[in-house]
Structure 1
């Protein structure tokens, strides 16, 4: 049982490794996942991250019901808003995150999925946010992101019934990018990651932040912030390396500087 972390060629792979519990997460695993996201955020060697679950059955079944619903935390923790922040609960990680969905993506697993940027799924993947069936509502952004990412009636059907959709339906509605055979899942995720990691890292992070923050800015403010960020990027070594490599017909060697 663990949150496994691997780093190679600028790509971090985070694996929720608790297959005997459908990769459901108790407090210990949530803390481990929080630490993993902070490392992705803070380590300059990391350019992109992949998150997946161990085995071939489940991405994550979300919070472990036995440890969370039967033993809720004290009300004092309601105001510890910076404690063990997660990707899907307030932690700002501007490096791109790819989800490789290898099976059940349920409740908190679905909430985690909605905080990622690119999503690849195996054909047998299943998606739901069924917390209303347990007497609670989706946490960690579950009620906040669903309407941004799915058409209103589809989102509300999932939210209010708690019923699941299959991978084909998820792809049809744009919740995931593509479906690939299970034995190609991680290779496909890594192929996306390599393409992203080959780009200028400061520009990639800026592009993600601008796109995400655009949801909370009026259009004219967004245009202005975009122009300001582009002006900053023009002063970087990478902004000089990109055109130079293009002119010399070679792959660019970006440094993130």
Structure 2
């Protein structure tokens, strides 16, 4: 298999953050994920006009899946791209979050130390966060719709899935579809960790901003995990949970997301070559 690098996975956008694809990864039957069909990114509001034109014309984008919460969509709505369907598939239960933290002060775009601290102190961000996303009914509902749209995607069209930073809710989405395509766990983890390479400059600036607060290394990493960095422990906890409770990620997809063996075959025929 070709090595997994920023260069091998980038879709070469000008402004769209953490923009890459799942193409080239190898399934256990030896087939590869087709190039240019399964795209992942941060919020598209940052995309340049040229980025949007490339998504439409070069990738033949047919569907956008937005995993964000309602207020995130309201503040920074997705750009309208002619001929592209935009499906809202929220993963986080906003009522549950609201019970823990005032939304207006706690979870607006996280650009201040105080807001980060609220998210951490209230237990919204922990290394078991992904387990919560997968366990909550809202998370199951969102990922169920994600797979519905993957199954319905027209031939020759691409699908872009994203959240805000394109790393947590999006990272879980990538783990689930790659698991459905029988891509091995090591590849899934490498894909997840690519965020730290794509966001290298952002993370460097955020470290500088946080350095004034005299944080320990552990605290620093926790704050960065709210922002633009990923930590393998978060994803490993999620995968371990799926293995323990469902036998495997595919077991979860069958039991909680409702896919059948026939659906898996449709996905493989659509996305593997």
Question: Normalized against structure 2, the TM-score is what?
Answer: 0.25
More relative contact order, 1 or 2 (CA 8 Å, 6+ apart): 2
Structure with greater Cα Rg: 1
Question: Normalized against structure 1, the TM-score is what?
Answer: 0.26
Point out the structure with the larger helix share.
2
